[in-house]
Amino acid sequence: MPVNTIVKDSKLKLQFDGGVNGKGDPVVKSKTFSKVKIDAVNDNLFSVATSLADLQDMPLIAVKRLDEVELTQA
pLDDT confidence of residue 74: 86
Helix (H) or strand (E) holding 44, with range, is helix 42-53
Q: What is the pLDDT along the chain (74 residues), one digit of tens a residue?
A: 899 999 999 999 999 999 999 999 999 999 999 999 999 999 999 999 999 999 999 999 999 999 999 999 98
The domains of the chain are located at 3-73
**CA distances, 47 to each of 5, 12, 51, 55, 67 (Å):** 27, 12, 6, 13, 18
Find the helix or strand (DSSP H, E) in which 49 lies. Answer: helix 42-53
The reported pLDDT for the residue numbered 1 is 83
pLDDT at position 31 is: 97
What is the value of pTM for the model shown?
0.87
pLDDT at residue 19 in the model: 96
